[in-house]
Chain A
Amino acid sequence: MKLRLPHLNPLTRKKFRRFRQIRRGYVAFLILSGLVVLSLVAELLVNNRALVVRYEGQWFFPTYGAIHTGRDFGLPYEYEVNYRDLKAAFAGTDHWVLLPPVPYNPIENCYRGETFRPRPPDWAKGHYLGTDQINRDILARLLYGFRNALIFSSCFIGLTYLIGITLGCLMGYFGGWFDLLVQRLIEIWSNIPFLFVVIIVASVIPTGIGMNLWILLGIVVLFSWTSMTYYMRSATYREKARDYVHAAQVLGASTPRIIFLHILPNTLSTLVTFIPFTVAGAISALTALDFLGFGLPPPTPSWGELLRQGTSNLSAPWIVASAFSALVIVLMLVTFIGEAIREAFDPKKFTTYQ
């Protein structure tokens, strides 16, 4: 596998080369990338909408398109067509339906009209990991839950790093009163108990809006950006005192130029090593909140909610087992990547003296 890395500082290229040489981290990286790609095209793999429908000489691709009612395909109802039923109805005709490998949606009741109870894995029906206590497919919920967690953690990283880096950099660069003031504010701010705020906010949000991914993200970010400022502040302080910054000042460079072109690129390389651990933190935080019931509103698929179901239905061990293994595998992959990056970016080689 040859990755092309054009126009990069040879030192950075060397770091990437070293990362690729750390097998465990690199394999974990490939697997996780595969999982991310799978989750991005989840609609094609796990969905109750068909991939292709051939009906009366016409092609239909319902996955990403508009809703087709039952009447569109000659069924006697006005609501969205059930493609599994459609497939059964088309059996023996010229028309045909191609369903995804797992033909279920994460929020649908797969046993309509039957009792709500967890059902063990049923390979014949395509419930490879079974169903949860309200008859929803667990594999579907895991995959879409993973996608939500990914969206959450990437937005989380983007926002916390943006705020943390900006403020930390400004604190370090300007120092003095500004630094002192912001530091004290951060200390006060980080003493506000996070969980209570989540509970309070959840209770005051008007029912019309409801708790959603973005509000939750906003709250978590509000309480998480502070840790980044500590690192950035000290790194900027250190870089600011170096001669290349003085050289730029003597040339007459403006303050934004010095911060963005000179100081930031020199601090960011270390920052990269934090990212995997932040991802792991974000995923576990979201799972924990969902587990406690303060996270995403039902019926949003989420791992925490699945874990909670699993622990309250220990007689149905497939729920807790699948949620737990998914969590362990993903966190482990992320941690392996994090370790490998840290090792690859470490300027010091292991040395001992006799």
Chain B
Amino acid sequence: MPESAATPPVLEVRDLVTTFDTDAGRLTAVDGVSFAVGRGRTLGIVGESGCGKSVTALSIMRLLPQPMGRIQGGQVLLDGVDLTQLSPAEMQRIRGDRMGMIFQEPMTALNPVHTIGRQLSEVFLLHRTRDKREALRLSVEMLAKVGIPSPEIRAGEYPHQLSGGMRQRVVIAMALACRPDVVIADEPTTALDVTIQAQILELMQSLQHELGMAIVLITHDLGVIADMCDDVVVMYAGRIAEAGPVQRIFAAPSHPYTRGLLNSIPRLTNPRKQRLNTIEGMVPSLADLPTGCRFQNRCPWRTEICATQPPLIHVDEAHTVACHHTKDLPPPVDESVNAHQARADAAAPQAAVAVPAAAAGSTPAPLLDVQDLCMHFPVKEGIFQRAKHACRAVDGINLTVMPGETIGLVGESGCGKSTLGKCIVRLNHPTAGRLIFEGTDLVPLRQRTLKPHRRHLQMIFQDPVESLNARHTVGDIIAEPLVIHRLGDAAWRHRRVHELLAKVGLPANAAERYPFEFSGGQRQRIGIARAIALEPKLIVCDEPVSALDVSIQSQVLNLLLELQREMGLSYLFIAHNLAVVKHVSDRIAIMYLGRIVEFASADVIYRNPRHPYTRALISAIPQPDPLHRQQRIVLQGDVPSPIHPPSGCTFHTRCPHATDRCRRETPVLRSAGDTGHQVSCHYDL
């Protein structure tokens, strides 16, 4: 922090300790955290869930839930004034005026019963002016500043009338209304799509440039950190693991946890289907912290000395790390530092073989052949509830899945990728088209006639909390498919459950326990065990890792790849994260507004994207590399509604290359360039 050392920091946190009183006793969520941010600079706080990032933010704002949460010690200095000592009334004057906060979920951060203008005016009325008309004028000005088109009209609208990206702009406008000195952004783009995330990040950067506020950016996404931050604090289990300038952290990570995090994320540049490096285990619960270094139970370099609290060591002037072994760590070699690398190398060649076997032989019959599949939901209007329009969620999809192959399905929310997945497992009844699975068309089948096919066609869900029935034991959950399909007797099923638990890496005693006793990653393993219980041929994975932390995500991805190799599974892998999809897939389909706009093998689509949407998607992904802050193609606007899709090419409203022809003619999916590369665009870019 050479620059910030020159100017005094605007926000400084010293030895902050925050505790929560719970049923399990007093838990220390933040334990001795210190950092400083200078004016006009951005500090990133990164870590997995449960590491105390959000509690740090809430402590700074003094917004801890009462009466459980309490700041036990330390100082939060805003321009030298200790916020922890202020009265609630004094704190209220500071919040919104000198400090602003941007929340993760823009829908819940805005009050649905007040108009945008009124909510924004409230900030001005509290801190700046008594005149309501003046407050409204300032609000409209602020809305214009955050890039909301026709702000006068928008000020009179309610939050639900705006899109997610627009709402987040409003939240930013509220946080910045009084030109605060410090803005705390708690996962500001996590709930948004990549192209919208790119818009929001760009907006935050340009506003910081203009207003000169300090930003504390809390995120789990290392790509966002690399893209946005000057300095980084890596938190682990309530303590700082490592802190320093962003280039130093990414180039020379000195804490095993930082290294683990950096190595476990799938990158677009990595070879596909390799075993990812992982951090074994998971973040310890706050009620059950190890003494000494909190990372010790997951650390490959652990020794006896780790049972004592590691001191904060200065690697260089601005770069500090809390690890006994910093000096002994091998120099960071790109992508290959982890102790598990040896295993990864051994596994890699097999992974590469498994796939092309299908492609190499005399084209075998596809496992699944989706033909012109449509799913139009009726939109009912009027007092008689007649179907007036159709929501074209899936609008003519053609797709084949070969045995043992993984098809990736990528798109932003609302593009119909989940609906397509649900149509394939027949949770939705497609309105048109055919779904030929092992030679049988599934579309006309009814519940009873479909049942034998369900054995071979399973699904893994996004949210492992939602998808497991909380009232059943894990054993019952995994045995349920066997019971439904009347396989074996009770004793056999009992053995099978234990087999499956071992296969997904869970202890045998898990069978008697209930889902809530497990962490997110373990619950997803339970969901996977249930899906493979019937030895299916095709599994539809609907965002299977997007609810998980980075280190857990790589564990689950490795498990999925391992199971594919062992059981010869085919996957239809649905996700919004292109890097994750590219890592596991053989071929990738990009969806936009219910249609496939580009379909090609995974390497080709990344190296040579032909559709402008694919290009924008790839460029919008923040890369976890601060040295390559690439020029983003920022798409303007939002995904249009599938009820009234645009004429011609549905992408023309956001396409930087759109012409008149795009507005009139609907492009068809045509072959382009490489073998099997299909693209739906009039032009060769």
A9-B514, A250-B458 known; A265+B62 contact, CB < 8 A? no
Number of A residues near B (Cβ < 8 Å) is 26
A interface footprint on B458-479 (CB within 8 Å = 1, 0 otherwise): 1101110011111110000000
A79 adjacent to chain B (CB < 8 Å)? no
Q: B residues within 8 A CB of A65? A: none
Q: Distance (Å) between the CB of B427 and the closest chain A CB?
A: 5
> Are B471's CB and A266's CB within 8 A?
yes
> Are A252's CB and B484's CB within 8 A?
yes
A56 adjacent to chain B (CB < 8 Å)? no
> Are A244's CB and B485's CB within 8 A?
no
> Are A251's CB and B481's CB within 8 A?
yes
Cβ-neighbour of A353 out of B63, B450, B480, B514 (below 8 A): B63
Q: Which of B65-73, B173-181, B294-302, B628-636 contacts A (4 or more CB under 8 A)?
A: B65-73
Q: How large is the interface on B (under 10, 10 to 19, 20 to 34, 35 or more residues)?
A: 35 or more
> Are A246's CB and B467's CB within 8 A?
yes
Not counting A246-B461, A247-B459, A354-B62, a sample of 5 additional A-B residue pairs whose C-beta atoms are within 8 angstroms of each other reads: A243-B466, A252-B485, A255-B447, A266-B471, A354-B66
Q: B residues within 8 A CB of A33? A: none
For chain B residues 425-449, which have a beta carbon within 8 Å of chain A? 425, 427, 447
Q: A residues within 8 A CB of B652? A: none
What are some 29 contacts across the A-B interface (CB < 8 A)? A9-B470, A9-B471, A9-B514, A11-B470, A11-B514, A11-B516, A243-B461, A243-B466, A244-B466, A244-B468, A244-B470, A246-B422, A246-B427, A247-B467, A248-B480, A250-B454, A251-B480, A252-B451, A252-B454, A252-B481, A252-B484, A253-B480, A254-B447, A255-B447, A266-B471, A349-B68, A352-B65, A352-B66, A354-B62
Q: B residues within 8 A CB of A243? A: 461-463, 466-467
B106 adjacent to chain A (CB < 8 Å)? no
Q: B residues within 8 A CB of A251? A: 454, 458, 480-481, 484-485, 530, 534
Q: A residues within 8 A CB of B467? A: 243-244, 246-247
> Are A351's CB and B66's CB within 8 A?
yes
Give the docked Cα–Cα distance between A9 and B474 (Å).
11
> Are A351's CB and B470's CB within 8 A?
no
B663 adjacent to chain A (CB < 8 Å)? no
Closest to A244 in B: B469
Dominant secondary structure at the A interface? helix
Cβ-neighbour of A265 out of B447, B451, B463, B471 (below 8 A): B471
A23 adjacent to chain B (CB < 8 Å)? no
A262 adjacent to chain B (CB < 8 Å)? yes
Q: A residues within 8 A CB of B65? A: 351-353
Closest to B91 in A: A354
A interface footprint on B7-44 (CB within 8 Å = 1, 0 otherwise): 00000000000000000000000000000000000000
Q: B residues within 8 A CB of A24? A: none
Nearest 3 pairs of A and B residues by beta carbon: A243-B467, A252-B454, A243-B466
For chain A residues 239-273, which have a beta carbon within 8 Å of chain B? 242-244, 246-255, 257, 261-262, 265-266
B98 adjacent to chain A (CB < 8 Å)? no
Looking at A250, A252, A253, A255, the one whose CB has the most chain B CB atoms below 10 A away is A250
B381 adjacent to chain A (CB < 8 Å)? no
Q: Distance (Å) between the CB of A265 and the closest chain B CB?
A: 4
Closest to B540 in A: A250
Give the docked Cα–Cα distance between A352 and B481 (Å).
44
B interface footprint on A340-353 (CB within 8 Å = 1, 0 otherwise): 00000000010111
Give the docked Cα–Cα distance between A244 and B450 (Å).
19
> Are A247's CB and B530's CB within 8 A?
yes
B127 adjacent to chain A (CB < 8 Å)? no
A10 adjacent to chain B (CB < 8 Å)? yes
B642 adjacent to chain A (CB < 8 Å)? no
Give the docked Cα–Cα distance between A191 and B447 (Å).
39
Q: Distance (Å) between the CB of A353 and the closest chain B CB?
A: 6
Q: A residues within 8 A CB of B457? A: 250
Cβ-neighbour of B469 out of A255, A266, A352, A354 (below 8 A): A266
> Are A242's CB and B466's CB within 8 A?
yes
B292 adjacent to chain A (CB < 8 Å)? no
Q: CB within 8 Å of A: which residues of B?
A: 62-68, 88, 91, 422, 425, 427, 447, 450-451, 454-455, 457-459, 461-463, 466-472, 480-481, 484-485, 514, 516-517, 527, 530, 534
> Are B67's CB and A250's CB within 8 A?
no
How many pairs of residues, A versus B, come closer than 8 Å at their CB atoms? 83
Q: Distance (Å) between the CB of B383 and the closest chain A CB?
A: 13
Give the docked Cα–Cα distance between A293 and B652 (Å).
77
Cβ-neighbour of B63 out of A250, A254, A354 (below 8 A): A354
> Are B427's CB and A249's CB within 8 A?
yes
Give the docked Cα–Cα distance between A10 and B454 (Å).
33
Give the docked Cα–Cα distance between A252 and B469 (Å).
16
> Are A257's CB and B484's CB within 8 A?
yes
Q: A residues within 8 A CB of B470? A: 9, 11, 244, 266
Give the docked Cα–Cα distance between A352 and B64 (Å).
9
Looking at B91, B450, B451, the one whose CB has the most chain A CB atoms below 10 A away is B451
Give the docked Cα–Cα distance between A250 and B454 (Å).
7
> Are A250's CB and B66's CB within 8 A?
no
Give the docked Cα–Cα distance between A128 and B470 (Å).
53
Q: A residues within 8 A CB of B463? A: 243
Closest to B462 in A: A243
Closest to B471 in A: A265
Closest to B460 in A: A247
Q: Distance (Å) between the CB of A342 and the closest chain B CB?
A: 19
For chain A residues 151-181, which have a beta carbon within 8 Å of chain B? none
Give the docked Cα–Cα distance between A266 and B458 (Å).
24
> Are B466's CB and A10's CB within 8 A?
no
Q: Distance (Å) between the CB of A16 and the closest chain B CB?
A: 15
Give the docked Cα–Cα distance between A9 and B517 (Å).
11
Closest to B468 in A: A244
Give the docked Cα–Cα distance between A354 and B62 (Å).
8
A10-B514, A242-B466, A251-B481 known; A354+B88 contact, CB < 8 A? yes
Q: A residues within 8 A CB of B422? A: 246
Q: A residues within 8 A CB of B91? A: 354
Q: B residues within 8 A CB of A349? A: 68
Q: B residues within 8 A CB of A250? A: 425, 427, 454, 457-459
Q: B residues within 8 A CB of A261? A: 472
Q: Distance (Å) between the CB of B25 and the closest chain A CB?
A: 15
> Are B450's CB and A252's CB within 8 A?
yes
Looking at A249, A251, A265, A351, the one whose CB has the most chain B CB atoms below 10 A away is A251
Q: B residues within 8 A CB of A246? A: 422, 427, 459, 461, 467
Q: Distance (Å) between the CB of B387 and the closest chain A CB?
A: 13
Q: A residues within 8 A CB of B514? A: 9-11
Give the docked Cα–Cα distance between A138 and B67 (Å).
52
Give the docked Cα–Cα distance between A242 and B515 (Å).
15
Closest to A253 in B: B484
Q: Distance (Å) between the CB of A237 and the closest chain B CB?
A: 15
Give the docked Cα–Cα distance between A127 and B430 (Å).
77
Closest to B61 in A: A354
Q: B residues within 8 A CB of A255? A: 447
Q: Distance (Å) between the CB of A96 and the closest chain B CB?
A: 58
B interface footprint on A1-25 (CB within 8 Å = 1, 0 otherwise): 0000000011100000000000000
Q: Distance (Å) between the CB of A242 and the closest chain B CB?
A: 5
Q: Distance (Å) between the CB of A165 and the closest chain B CB?
A: 16
Q: Distance (Å) between the CB of A264 and the closest chain B CB?
A: 9
Cβ-neighbour of B517 out of A10, A252, A266 (below 8 A): A10
Q: B residues within 8 A CB of A253? A: 480, 484
> Are B469's CB and A262's CB within 8 A?
yes
Give the docked Cα–Cα distance between A72 and B152 (Å).
101
Q: Distance (Å) between the CB of B463 and the closest chain A CB?
A: 6
For chain A residues 299-324, which have a beta carbon within 8 Å of chain B? none
Q: A residues within 8 A CB of B425? A: 250
Give the docked Cα–Cα distance between A351 and B455 (Å).
46
Give the docked Cα–Cα distance between A248 and B64 (Å).
39
Give the docked Cα–Cα distance between A262 and B459 (Å).
18
Q: B residues within 8 A CB of A257? A: 484
Q: A residues within 8 A CB of B66? A: 351-354
Give the docked Cα–Cα distance between A349 and B21 (Å).
12
Q: Distance (Å) between the CB of A82 and the closest chain B CB?
A: 58
